[in-house]
């Protein structure tokens, strides 16, 4: 019995030890499982690996547009594993559904809204702010940088800094030097100065112009603010034709009135049979109005900042000289061109007209032994010479010599053909007589048959001007 008791006592001890060992093993296993996942310590009961040997990362939980996913890797030797979050994917806006919710401005980002092509949710994405688009804002005197979009200004406007070419070294603006003439698009003509040209035919305007002068008419006794033309009848200056200039609504007009017909030759008597005025449609004792319009000049030559120009149309009608001779230097026409015409047509523009040494040589008249020539004259305005109107380099031929007349030249009694082309005077004297001058015929032909005293001669002024 006692031996049996001893045996059973030993058994009890062994069981207790085994139980204790199992309990400890269990505890250790629990401990290992409870260790932090990133533990690199080998488990004490697996001494064969002193460090975890990690397998590849694998997706444990798939990330979505809006929620993080999770990656895991396991130890190949034990049950330990590590986790790593995977960033949420973010929505992918389907371009077909995109709409601007808030537009971007220069300074603020905008918002685009649309549907996510992955999850179908409504989602937004920002549009970057546009940033200012700065450009020069320029006026005559100053420049300043301004945003073309939001108009925000950078600093305050500053004066241009002009270089020798009148260009601003900062903004590139070129100073607009106000031109005294206007060049045509084809560059063949320019307008410079003004002269009464087209007749006013609008009845309302005519009565307004008449009202401007309070319907006052001139007479040989009382000018009544009109100006006497000082025209001839029977070789004597007589008082029968007048003009008056009126500014009306920023335009200028010339009223013309006559009580006797102007004879087509300064030596003739009056009467409609002696005058071209009647033929041209104008009668006595009626006020006619003509508008001051820009004079169109043909550019004959152009060099060194100067242009040689001649009127493109017959502007007036006058005799070369009423009583003297065909000597240009002494002629009435030369005096009139450089006095009345210059002051009327080029008021305030005289400084742009160059004084020219006008060639009055025999060669200029087309007759080398012409005895009727005069010395060269220094003039601002002059008539063209025979040599000039035959010079193709100046653009003259049969066609380009033909000139129409203005309405104003017609009331002055210009001699014109049925096609409207008028005779016009040259400064060159005839070589045959001392009372004929060379002129351009209505056909464009150049002749020397024009009597110096014919008042029906068209006037085509020419001059050199500063460009
Ligand atoms: Zn491990
Ligand atoms: Zn989504
Ligand atoms: Zn801006
Ligand atoms: Zn500038």
Assess whether 318 and 189 both reside in one domain.
yes
Residue that is last in its domain, among 83, 99, 115: 99
Q: What ligand is nearest to the CA atom of residue 91?
A: 2
Cβ neighbors of 202 (< 8 A, separation 6 or more) are none
CA 98–ligand 2 middle distance (angstroms): 14
Cβ neighbors of 247 (< 8 A, separation 6 or more) are 253
> Encoding tokens for residue 246?
């009126």
Whether residue 70 is contained in a domain is answered as yes
Q: Are 167 and 179 in contact (CB under 8 A)?
A: no
Helix (H, G, I), strand (E, B) or coil at 338: helix
CA 343–ligand 3 middle distance (angstroms): 54
> Please, which pLDDT band fits residue 1 given cuts at 50, 70 and 90?
very low
CA 67–ligand 2 middle distance (angstroms): 10
Q: What ligand is nearest to the CA atom of residue 136?
A: 4
CA 115–ligand 2 middle distance (angstroms): 8
Assess whether 219 and 76 both reside in one domain.
no
Residue that is last in its domain, among 74, 99, 124: 99
**For the segment 435-451, what is each residue's pLDDT rounded down to a tens digit?**
999 999 999 999 877 89
Q: What ligand is nearest to the CA atom of residue 93?
A: 2
DSSP of 215-265, one letter per residue? T----SS--TT-EE---EETTEE-S-EEEEEEEETTEEEEEEEESSPPPSB
Q: How far is 253 from 290, CA to CA, in rounded Å?
A: 5
Q: What ligand is nearest to the CA atom of residue 139?
A: 4
Q: What ligand is nearest to the CA atom of residue 117?
A: 2
> Encoding tokens for residue 43?
């488990």
Which residues make beta-bridge pairs with 282? none
CA 130–ligand 4 middle distance (angstroms): 26
**For the segment 217-275, what is each residue's pLDDT rounded down to a tens digit?**
999 999 999 999 999 999 999 999 999 999 999 899 999 999 999 999 999 999 889 99
DSSP of 27-72, one letter per residue? HHHHHHHHS-TT--SPPTT-TT-SS--B---EEEE---SSS-EEEE
CA 66–ligand 2 middle distance (angstroms): 7
Mean pLDDT of the region 264-287: 95
Whether the per-residue pLDDT at 31 is higher than 50: the answer is no
Q: How far is 406 from 290, CA to CA, in rounded Å?
A: 10
Assess whether 363 and 458 both reside in one domain.
yes
Assess whether 199 and 62 both reside in one domain.
no
Residue of higher predicted confidence among 442 and 23 = 442
Assess whether 222 and 336 both reside in one domain.
yes
In which domain, by residue range, is 339 found?
Answer: 182-466
Q: What distance lies between CA 288 and its chain's CA centroid?
A: 38
> Please, which pLDDT band fits residue 290 given cuts at 50, 70 and 90?
very high
Q: How far is 458 from 254, CA to CA, in rounded Å?
A: 19
The residue behind tokens 């009608």 is: 317
Q: How many structural domains comprise the chain?
A: 2
Assess whether 71 and 187 both reside in one domain.
no
pLDDT score recorded for residue 17 = 60
Assess whether 222 and 80 both reside in one domain.
no
> Encoding tokens for residue 144?
């300043």
Whether residue 329 is contained in a domain is answered as yes
Q: How far is 227 from 69, CA to CA, in rounded Å?
A: 104
Whether residue 34 is contained in a domain is answered as no
Q: How far is 42 from 448, CA to CA, in rounded Å?
A: 132
Average model confidence (pLDDT) for the chain? 91
Mean pLDDT of the region 74-100: 93
For the sheet with 134-138, list strands across it. 134-138, 142-147, 153-159
Cβ neighbors of 433 (< 8 A, separation 6 or more) are 326
Assess whether 417 and 271 both reside in one domain.
yes
Whether residue 45 is contained in a domain is answered as no
Residue that is last in its domain, among 44, 73, 99: 99
Q: Are 121 and 115 in contact (CB under 8 A)?
A: yes
> Please, which pLDDT band fits residue 341 given cuts at 50, 70 and 90?
very high
Cβ neighbors of 305 (< 8 A, separation 6 or more) are 466, 467
Around ion ligand 4, which residues have CB less than 5 A away? Answer: 143, 160, 168, 170-171, 173
Assess whether 224 and 342 both reside in one domain.
yes
> Encoding tokens for residue 424?
């016009």
Whether residue 360 is contained in a domain is answered as yes
CA 83–ligand 1 middle distance (angstroms): 14
Burial of 294 (0-12, 13-18, 19+ CB in 10 A): middle
pLDDT score recorded for residue 27 = 55
Reported pTM: 0.65
Whether residue 318 is contained in a domain is answered as yes
Whether residue 222 is contained in a domain is answered as yes
Whether residue 122 is contained in a domain is answered as no
pLDDT score recorded for residue 38 = 47
**For the segment 302-332, what is each residue's pLDDT rounded down to a tens digit?**
998 999 999 999 999 999 999 989 999 999 9
CA 140–ligand 4 middle distance (angstroms): 9
Q: Are strands 356-358 and 232-233 parallel, antiparallel or unpaired?
A: unpaired
CA 123–ligand 2 middle distance (angstroms): 7
CA 88–ligand 1 middle distance (angstroms): 29
**For the segment 203-228, what is each residue's pLDDT rounded down to a tens digit?**
999 999 999 999 999 999 999 999 99
């Amino acid at each position: 019995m006692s031996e049996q008791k001893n045996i059973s006592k030993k058994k009890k001890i062994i069981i207790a030890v085994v139980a204790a060992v199992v309990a400890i093993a269990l505890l250790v296993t629990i401990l290992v499982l409870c260790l932090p996942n990133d533990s690199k310590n080998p488990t004490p009961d697996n001494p064969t690996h002193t460090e975890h040997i990690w397998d590849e990362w694998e997706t444990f939980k798939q990330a979505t547009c809006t929620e993080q996913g999770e990656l895991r890797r396991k130890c190949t030797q034990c049950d330990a594993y590590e986790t790593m979050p995977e960033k949420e994917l973010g929505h992918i806006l389907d371009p077909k559904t995109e709409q601007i919710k808030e537009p971007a401005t220069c300074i603020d980002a905008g918002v685009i809204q649309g549907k996510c092509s992955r999850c179908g949710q409504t989602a937004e994405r920002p549009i970057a702010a546009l940033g200012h688009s700065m450009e020069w804002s320029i006026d005559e005197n100053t420049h300043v940088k301004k945003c073309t979009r939001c108009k925000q200004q950078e600093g305050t406007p500053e004066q241009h800094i002009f270089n020798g070419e009148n260009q601003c070294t900062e903004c590139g603006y070129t100073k607009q030097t106000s031109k005294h003439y206007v060049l045509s698009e084809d560059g063949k003509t320019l307008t410079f100065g003004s002269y009464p040209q087209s007749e006013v035919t609008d009845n309302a305007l005519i009565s307004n112009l008449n009202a401007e002068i309070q319907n006052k008419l001139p007479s040989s006794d009382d000018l009544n603010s009109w100006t006497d033309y000082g025209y001839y009848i029977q070789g004597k200056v007589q008082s029968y034709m007048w003009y008056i200039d009126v500014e009306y609504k920023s335009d200028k007009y010339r009223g013309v009135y006559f009580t006797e017909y102007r004879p087509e030759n300064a030596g003739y008597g009056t009467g409609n049979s002696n005058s071209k005025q009647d033929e041209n449609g104008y009668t006595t004792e009626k006020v006619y109005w003509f508008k001051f319009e820009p004079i169109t000049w043909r550019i004959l030559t152009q060099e060194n900042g100067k242009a040689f120009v001649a009127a493109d149309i017959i502007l007036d009608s006058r005799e070369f000289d009423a009583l003297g001779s065909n000597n240009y230097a002494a002629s009435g026409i030369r005096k009139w061109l450089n006095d009345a015409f210059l002051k009327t047509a080029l008021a305030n523009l005289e400084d742009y007209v160059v004084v020219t040494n006008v060639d009055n040589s025999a060669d200029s008249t087309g007759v080398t032994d012409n005895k009727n020539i005069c010395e060269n004259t220094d003039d601002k305005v002059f008539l063209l010479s025979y040599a000039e109107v035959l010079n193709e380099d100046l653009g003259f031929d049969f066609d380009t010599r033909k000139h129409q007349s203005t309405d104003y030249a017609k009331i002055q009694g210009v001699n014109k053909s049925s096609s409207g082309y008028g005779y016009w005077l040259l400064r060159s004297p005839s070589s045959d007589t001392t009372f004929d001058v060379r002129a351009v015929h209505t056909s464009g032909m150049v002749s020397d048959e024009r009597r110096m005293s014919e008042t029906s001669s068209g006037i085509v002024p020419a001059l050199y001007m500063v460009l």
